[in-house]
A and B are shown apart, each in its own frame.
Chain A
């Protein structure tokens, strides 16, 4: 059923067709949560009423409360049946949480992270099959904390992501490293909002993407410097390489500012592979294909290297190289 989803925090004219996305999302009639066995000592339950900013609502969902008490937590979901999932992450220690998706169905996830005086790295890896759907919503509330989300969004034909981060105390930092891949007729829609609410907060968004075939992507990233966010720093950078002349890229890097003393910047670049780089590498004896692959891998590695697990890094690179 076609739905209007993932609305931007500040609207612009509808003629630009970027305020929201219209997309077909299959109806989920019945969810059998028995299909999902969660290994580990977590508080797992089935709850009623799943509401999301992205615009999808369901009657029931699987809820996991992760009270982080060790330095490394791994969750893997084999999404061969529909999954509606809510994960609450509370942490007061430094840790890494890895969440990985494989399978061929539809995964709808909300990940709520509430941090107080802790540092956390959240790695979310979407390695779903080509026909799958990955719909994910991140909500982060940080007090005296640092958080990095490494989000690898390469599987599935529909990839919708929504992120809201509130930096609620001085000296809190939030960084997002995001890699997306569009192939065939994939639809990718990213809608990210970072609220810098207090003085001396920092945020950096780095988004790297590759679009091939007839894939379409919208990137909507907003840095909102609220009144009182003096001496905060917010940077946002999106780099999209178009590998096919039929791929389409839209971007809306918004910056809203109600505070004088901030350092805010955003940059977007879209287009083909840099010809100067290509020329340089080919003049060193590499073939055109080898040169292109080397340049693309350099872009991919910027994000992939943020994940500590070397085996996982290689798995991601192998999948991307196979697809492009």
Chain B
């Protein structure tokens, strides 16, 4: 069964995200063909081994079928999509060198402000290319690499070759094949053994061009006993034409290493978000996923953690908020492939005004994962009966020596709670917003504080839109 949603109008409530840069791009490529793929590779002056990956991926894309499950995305016509949009600026090391028009967009999103205050490094992508990457001197001295993925291919070819496509293979699904044919931009992060970053790195992805696709590739390697917090932000202004985001994130967490990967996704509601994320975790390593999905017309996003080493851990914390016209099909996957591995999942969703939130998960405990523990919890809040909230968890347990539990619940806001708050002088809107913020609070706490504040603001905006 395919889940469908009706066409919608973007009410442009997410005002700060709706800034449109009028800056002309220096190059735009429409559609997909072998020639186009070769041209993108040539533009980036890539070595043959990278071009070969692109061509192999293109061939796979052409042969593979759309998934026969999940939201309907059959209306996506790749021939009508701008598959490569080059901004009229190269990558800059100084914020001052970024063209004013682009700078204004990122300034309004608060990116440089954050960098000054509390980030070890910042990257910013505009359409198909990174336009800014910077890392503090202190980090550079420690051997940390944080750069544009295209640059990494040129400057660190051996390192890239060792890990690129190794977590997420070309064959994973049709849209990862499309990604590998067209990938452009993204971040490459390498944290040497023993280096613990006390401030996060943040990459921000902005898709400005209407009718365009963004295919950034993020590759992060956290070596033995190192630690990193990485924040990924995504947004786009609203258009009537369909935009596509088919990014890929490959993460490698080595022995005793720690990685917290936070994503705030607030794509506009004309976006198909078909992102793929995967993490390999070695002995005593920890991956923490913090995800907030607010935007996009359709999302299909299920980060996979493979716990390959003894005592490896995965924590997954997610909140989805689907409003009118949105179909957010999100979730997670985990494979326990070693003894004493642990997973904790805390997922929440809110749906309103006909929005669809679907939580899909896959938990696989292999026979060698003795003494594993998994605790999964999903909670859904429905604001009205036009909306949908579905839970589809698949659990595959192949050893008796594990403790697995999954619980899920669906409910509405208690009318008694609203009545109580209203009797204390709150309006209905304020009362509902307070309760929803309370529902989301355990997740909000996991986000960086600026994002938590932003999330609460988005909840308020969404609820006022529904009632006011």
Could you tell me which A residues sit within 8 Å of B by CB distance?
9-14, 16, 18, 225, 227-228, 230, 240, 242-272
Are B394 and A255 interface neighbours, CB within 8 A? no
Known contacts A265-B408, A268-B404; A254 and B385 CB within 8 A of each other: no
- Tell me, rounded to whole Å, the shortest Cβ–Cβ distance linking A88 to chain B: 29
In order of increasing CB-CB distance, the 4 nearest A-B pairs are A242-B400, A264-B410, A265-B409, A268-B406
Are A248 and B398 interface neighbours, CB within 8 A? yes
Judge whether B389 is part of the interface by a CB distance below 8 angstroms.
Answer: yes
* CA of A156 to CA of B90, assembled, Å: 69
Could you tell me which B residues sit within 8 Å of A by CB distance?
1, 67-69, 360, 362, 367, 380, 382-385, 387-412
Are B391 and A254 interface neighbours, CB within 8 A? yes
Are A250 and B392 interface neighbours, CB within 8 A? no
Are B395 and A252 interface neighbours, CB within 8 A? yes
- Tell me, rounded to whole Å, the shortest Cβ–Cβ distance linking B60 to chain A: 16
Q: List 29 A-B contacts (CB under 8 A).
A: A10-B1, A11-B69, A12-B392, A16-B394, A227-B385, A246-B367, A248-B396, A248-B397, A249-B396, A249-B397, A250-B395, A252-B392, A252-B393, A252-B395, A257-B380, A257-B389, A259-B382, A260-B383, A260-B384, A260-B385, A262-B412, A266-B391, A266-B406, A266-B408, A267-B405, A268-B405, A269-B405, A271-B401, A271-B403
New A-B pairs, 10, CB < 8 Å, besides A245-B399, A253-B391, A270-B395: A10-B69, A18-B394, A248-B398, A250-B397, A256-B390, A257-B380, A260-B385, A260-B412, A264-B410, A265-B407
Q: Identify the closest chain A residue to B388 (Cβ).
A: A258
Are A259 and B400 interface neighbours, CB within 8 A? no
Are A255 and B390 interface neighbours, CB within 8 A? yes
Interface on chain B toward A: helix, strand, loop, or mixed SS?
Answer: strand
* CA of A98 to CA of B352, assembled, Å: 46
Q: Which of B362, B385, B390, B406 contacts A259 (CB 8 A)?
A: B385
Are B408 and A270 interface neighbours, CB within 8 A? no
* CA of A14 to CA of B407, assembled, Å: 23
Q: Identify the closest chain A residue to B331 (Cβ).
A: A12
* CA of A246 to CA of B368, assembled, Å: 11
Q: Which of A230, A243, A250 has the most CB of B within 10 A?
A: A250
* CA of A269 to CA of B403, assembled, Å: 8
* CA of A261 to CA of B413, assembled, Å: 9
Q: Which of B388, B390, B410 has the most CB of A within 10 A?
A: B410
* CA of A255 to CA of B391, assembled, Å: 5
Contacts of A262 in B (CB 8 A): 410-412
Q: Identify the closest chain A residue to B389 (Cβ).
A: A257
Known contacts A252-B394, A260-B384; A12 and B410 CB within 8 A of each other: no
Are A267 and B406 interface neighbours, CB within 8 A? yes
* CA of A300 to CA of B401, assembled, Å: 21
Are A269 and B404 interface neighbours, CB within 8 A? yes
Q: Identify the closest chain A residue to B384 (Cβ).
A: A260
Known contacts A254-B390, A255-B390; A268 and B395 CB within 8 A of each other: yes
* CA of A248 to CA of B14, assembled, Å: 47
* CA of A268 to CA of B391, assembled, Å: 13
Are B410 and A255 interface neighbours, CB within 8 A? yes
Contacts of B69 in A (CB 8 A): 10-13
Q: Which of A18, A230, A271 contacts B397 (CB 8 A)?
A: A271
- Tell me, rounded to whole Å, the shortest Cβ–Cβ distance linking B146 to chain A: 34
Are B367 and A264 interface neighbours, CB within 8 A? no
Contacts of B380 in A (CB 8 A): 257
Contacts of A227 in B (CB 8 A): 385
- Tell me, rounded to whole Å, the shortest Cβ–Cβ distance linking A19 to chain B: 8
Are A261 and B412 interface neighbours, CB within 8 A? yes
Q: Which of B367, B391, B411 contacts A263 (CB 8 A)?
A: B411
Q: Which of B385, B391, B398 has the most CB of A within 10 A?
A: B385
Are B367 and A245 interface neighbours, CB within 8 A? yes
Are A264 and B394 interface neighbours, CB within 8 A? no
- Tell me, rounded to whole Å, the shortest Cβ–Cβ distance linking A256 to chain B: 5
Q: Which of A10, A230, A260 contacts B392 (CB 8 A)?
A: A10
Known contacts A12-B360, A247-B400; A267 and B388 CB within 8 A of each other: no
* CA of A253 to CA of B400, assembled, Å: 20
- Tell me, rounded to whole Å, the shortest Cβ–Cβ distance linking B310 to chain A: 18
Are B385 and A250 interface neighbours, CB within 8 A? no
Contacts of A253 in B (CB 8 A): 391, 393, 406, 408
Contacts of A243 in B (CB 8 A): 400
- Tell me, rounded to whole Å, the shortest Cβ–Cβ distance linking B403 to chain A: 5
Are A264 and B411 interface neighbours, CB within 8 A? yes
Contacts of A249 in B (CB 8 A): 395-398
* CA of A18 to CA of B360, assembled, Å: 13
* CA of A228 to CA of B395, assembled, Å: 30
Contacts of B360 in A (CB 8 A): 12
* CA of A9 to CA of B69, assembled, Å: 11
* CA of A272 to CA of B405, assembled, Å: 12
Are A245 and B385 interface neighbours, CB within 8 A? no
Are A16 and B391 interface neighbours, CB within 8 A? no
Are A11 and B408 interface neighbours, CB within 8 A? no
* CA of A227 to CA of B411, assembled, Å: 14
Are B396 and A250 interface neighbours, CB within 8 A? yes
* CA of A271 to CA of B363, assembled, Å: 13
- Tell me, rounded to whole Å, the shortest Cβ–Cβ distance linking A84 to chain B: 30
* CA of A140 to CA of B402, assembled, Å: 36
Contacts of A258 in B (CB 8 A): 385, 387-388
* CA of A14 to CA of B68, assembled, Å: 9
Contacts of B404 in A (CB 8 A): 268-271
Are A271 and B400 interface neighbours, CB within 8 A? yes
Known contacts A230-B385, A243-B400, A245-B400; A254 and B392 CB within 8 A of each other: yes
- Tell me, rounded to whole Å, the shortest Cβ–Cβ distance linking A32 to chain B: 41
Q: Which of B67, B400, B405 contacts A13 (CB 8 A)?
A: B67
